[in-house]
């Protein structure tokens, strides 16, 4: 339970650090929790960017934010499982850029570590 709380806290802190003003050109726009499933264009960009990536399986869980630039940047919460026996799943924020020609590439992968962010004890 503590790991889940730490993970959710980390995600919230990272999202809150993103500029979210819809009026700001190039600003990140968060996706409402009820609409966090990957829309078709985000899924297509994710699939294209992940094509050929080896060593781990990335499973998209939620689209957290988008940024409209000369194309679109996506911030996607993913569960990562290394391709080794008895691998323990981990969580990461995967940033993908999809250009206007339909190309997509990974720009950053930020692996979330349990205990990376302090969570105050309740009690």
* Assigned domain for 117 exists: no
Which of helix, strand or coil describes residue 43?
A: helix
Domain-located, residue 45 = yes
Q: Is residue 118 part of a domain?
A: no
Q: How confident is the model at residue 76, as a pLDDT?
A: 95
> What range does the domain containing 45 cover?
2-112
Q: Output DSSP code: residue 78.
A: E
pLDDT in tens, 71-84: 999 999 999 999 99
Tens of pLDDT along 32-60? 777 667 899 999 999 999 999 999 999 99
Reported as a single tens digit per residue, the pLDDT across 94-114 is: 999 999 999 999 999 999 887
- Domain containing residue 7: CATH number: 3.10.450
| 120 or 93, which is more confident | 93
Confirm whether 25 is domain-assigned.
yes
User: Contact, 83 vs 56, CB < 8 A?
Assistant: yes
Residue 123 lies in a domain: no
Q: Would you say the C-alpha torsion 44, 45, 51, 53 has a positive or negative sign?
A: negative
When divided into structural domains, the chain yields a total of: 1
Whether the CA torsion 118, 108, 82, 58 is positive or negative: it is positive
Q: Which residues of 51-85 are buried (b: 16+ CB within 10 A; e: fewer)?
A: eeeeebebebeebbbbbeeeebbbbbbbebeeeee
Residue 78 inside a domain? The answer is yes
Confirm whether 120 is domain-assigned. no
pLDDT reading at 11 higher than 80: no
């Amino acid at each position: 339970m503590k790991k889940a709380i730490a993970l959710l806290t980390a995600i919230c802190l990272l999202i809150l650090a993103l500029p979210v003003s819809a009026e700001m050109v190039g600003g990140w726009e968060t996706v409402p929790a009820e609409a966090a499933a990957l829309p078709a264009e985000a899924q297509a960009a994710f699939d294209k960017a992940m094509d050929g990536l080896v060593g781990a399986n990335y499973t998209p869980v939620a689209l957290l934010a988008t940024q409209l630039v000369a194309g679109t940047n996506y911030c996607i919460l993913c569960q990562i499982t290394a391709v080794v026996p008895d691998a323990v799943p981990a969580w990461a924020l995967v940033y993908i850029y999809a250009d206007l020609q339909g190309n997509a590439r990974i720009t950053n992968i930020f692996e979330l570590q349990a205990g990376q962010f302090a969570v105050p004890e309740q009690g």
